[in-house]
């Protein structure tokens, strides 16, 4: 297996697409990897002639002048200009981009959905994407969209990239293979993957049907959150992020490339596989992460910290401390706080919160928020525990208690989220969700000391 860059040492990868993937550990490292020996130039980026007759090409994920710049040098069978021809606009009617404000849809409220069911229709990564909410503006590269994917069929000689966005993929059911220009990522529930803006790939079904959640990030890339006084350890550790080793295809076969660009989809026809990068080096890569390696930090004496303490990745917005998107994980953990209302408290939030359940039971909502389901508590909309959760948490004996069989997440954004028509009318919206708070009683009667 290859390792992050050591300028004096380079091991060889040999993982052709279609075989078992290999990965390199580290977050944002300057990796280097080659699928054929000597394919990667050493000591320079642009030799007069590349080994094997390869073409050198840079993929820039940031402006050249960003600090630090994020880019990867690829050495490939054909340059990317050969992987596109004239474009024809196509329609993927269920994949929406912001701004997408439907005048017939009310986004103001508390919403919860059962899992979107699979249908008999064969669906790929592209046709099976169902947008639930959008926020911000894809054209100015701020905000996000949330999607559910329902995938039953592999993409065959069909490739895709998004110029609009980085995709954070959160599987809930089934296993997928992302065969990308930079190598293979296999993904299953309890893992996440990041597919960067501009990276070409094909999605295959390893075990179907596959369902999961996607956060489409229009803005600045996800990064590790600042740890502040927590220090160097716990939360998401850099070594647990895995970038793929180089892998390539040399296949001459009629193929299509679909591109998402400024919220629209276009298709182009080519005569070969574009997954032809034989070697690469750089810090702009896809990667995966095992959520089981996330080490939660919490209160160990009293009170309930803000959920931001469970941030796995954050995408900055340019306003310090105010994320375009935080990806937050609620997983198994011990609760030990004394004289404390332990579940999430009641609140209103300027940030808007979209949650998904990967498996198990969420502590603030023992009923109704089920695996594969989602909820949305939009900007400044009140929410909190239902009556059952409140009464149990207010009256139980507080010993050490482990929350088990639970893994949920939140896409939290500084921008209000707008429901799509699909989310409001076709997805299994729970019309009675708001009733989960209707039984909450007035306890106050003016008696001092009453609890």
Could you give the residue numbers annotated as active site? Answer: 304
Minimum Å gap between C-beta 99 and Fe ion is 24
Q: Point out which span in 296-304, 313-321, 348-356, 434-442 binds Fe ion (CB under 5 A).
A: 348-356
- Positions of E strands within 18-128: 23-25, 31-34, 55-60, 71-76, 88-90, 110-113
Task: Report the residue number, 307 or 421, with the smaller CB distance to Fe ion.
Answer: 307
Q: Point out which span in 106-114, 127-135, 274-282, 352-360 binds Fe ion (CB under 5 A).
A: 352-360
Residues 6+ apart with CB under 8 A from 425: none
Fill in the per-residue mask, 294 to 333: x = in contact with Fe ion (CB under 5 A), - = not in contact.
----------------------------------------
Task: Report the residue number, 211 or 414, with the smaller CB distance to Fe ion.
Answer: 414
Minimum Å gap between C-beta 172 and Fe ion is 21
Burial annotation 431-451 (CB, 10 A radius, 16+ → b, else e): eebeebbeeeeeeeeeeeeee
Locate 137 and state its tokens: 């503006």
Judge whether 383 is annotated as a binding position: yes
Task: Report the residue number, 306 or 332, with the smaller CB distance to Fe ion.
Answer: 306
Residues 6+ apart with CB under 8 A from 165: 138, 145, 197, 216, 217, 218, 260
Q: Point out which span in 12-20, 30-38, 104-112, 346-354 binds Fe ion (CB under 5 A).
A: 346-354
Q: DSSP state, 426? A: I
Fill in the per-residue mask, 3 to 42: x = in contact with Fe ion (CB under 5 A), - = not in contact.
----------------------------------------
Q: Mind giving me the DSSP string for 196-228? A: -TT--EEEEEEEEEEEEEEEEE-SSPPBPPP-G
Put the strands of the sheet holding 71-76 in their side by side order: 31-34, 277-282, 71-76, 55-60
User: How many chain residues touch Fe ion (CB under 5 A)?
Assistant: 1
Task: Report the residue number, 275 or 376, with the smaller CB distance to Fe ion.
Answer: 376
Q: Does 353 bind Fe ion (CB under 5 A)?
A: yes
* Beta-sheet pairing, 31-34 with 55-60: unpaired
Judge whether 287 is annotated as a binding position: no
Tokens 């979209």 appear where? 354
Locate 91 and state its tokens: 């329609």
Judge whether 418 is annotated as a binding position: no
Task: Report the residue number, 33 or 408, with the smaller CB distance to Fe ion.
Answer: 408
Q: Which single residue brings its beta carbon nearest to Fe ion?
A: 353
Judge whether 347 is annotated as a binding position: yes
Q: How far apart are CA 451 and CA 439, in angstroms?
A: 18
Which chain residues interact with Fe ion by CB under 5 A? 353
Binding residue positions for homogentisate: 362, 383
């Amino acid at each position: 297996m290859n390792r992050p860059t050591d300028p004096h040492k380079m091991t060889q990868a040999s993982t052709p697409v279609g075989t078992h993937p290999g990965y390199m550990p580290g977050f944002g490292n300057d990796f280097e990897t080659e699928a054929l020996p000597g394919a990667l130039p050493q000591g320079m980026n642009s030799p007069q002639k590349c080994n094997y007759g390869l073409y050198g090409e840079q993929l820039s994920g940031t402006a050249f002048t960003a600090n630090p710049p994020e880019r990867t040098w690829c050495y490939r069978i054909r340059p990317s200009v050969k992987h596109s021809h004239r474009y024809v606009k196509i329609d993927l009617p269920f994949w929406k981009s912001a701004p997408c404000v439907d005048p017939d849809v009310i986004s103001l409220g508390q919403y919860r959905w059962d899992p979107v069911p699979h249908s008999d229709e064969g669906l790929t990564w592209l046709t099976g994407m169902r947008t639930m909410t959008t926020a911000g503006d894809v054209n100015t590269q701020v905000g996000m969209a949330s999607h559910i994917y329902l995938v039953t069929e592999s993409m065959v000689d069909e490739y895709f990239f998004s110029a609009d966005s980085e995709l954070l993929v959160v599987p809930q059911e089934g296993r997928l293979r992302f065969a990308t220009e930079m190598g293979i990522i296999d993904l299953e529930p309890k893992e996440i993957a990041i597919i960067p803006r501009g990276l070409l790939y094909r999605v295959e079904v390893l075990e179907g049907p596959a369902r999961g959640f996607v956060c489409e990030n229009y803005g600045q890339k996800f990064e590790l959150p600042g740890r502040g006084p927590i220090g160097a350890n716990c939360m998401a550790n850099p070594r647990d992020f895995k970038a793929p080793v180089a892998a390539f295809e040399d296949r001459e076969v009629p193929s299509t490339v679909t591109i998402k660009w400024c919220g629209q989809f276009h298709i182009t026809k080519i005569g070969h596989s574009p997954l032809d990068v034989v070697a690469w080096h750089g810090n702009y890569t896809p990667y995966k992460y095992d959520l089981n390696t996330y080490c939660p930090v919490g209160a160990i004496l009293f009170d309930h910290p803000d959920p931001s303490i469970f941030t796995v990745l954050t995408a900055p917005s340019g306003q310090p401390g105010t994320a375009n998107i935080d990806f937050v994980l609620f997983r198994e953990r011990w609760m030990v706080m004394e004289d404390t209302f332990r579940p999430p408290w009641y609140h209103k939030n300027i940030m808007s919160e979209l949650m998904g359940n990967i498996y198990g039971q969420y502590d603030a909502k023992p009923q109704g928020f089920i695996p594969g389901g989602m909820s949305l508590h939009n900007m400044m909309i009140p929410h909190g525990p239902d009556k059952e959760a409140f009464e149990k948490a207010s009256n139980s004996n507080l010993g050490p208690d482990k929350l088990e069989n639970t893994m949920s997440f939140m896409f939290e954004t500084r921008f209000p989220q707008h429901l799509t028509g699909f989310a409001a009318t076709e997805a299994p919206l729970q019309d009675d969700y708001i009733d989960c708070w209707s039984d909450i009683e007035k306890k106050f009667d003016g008696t001092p000391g009453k609890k």
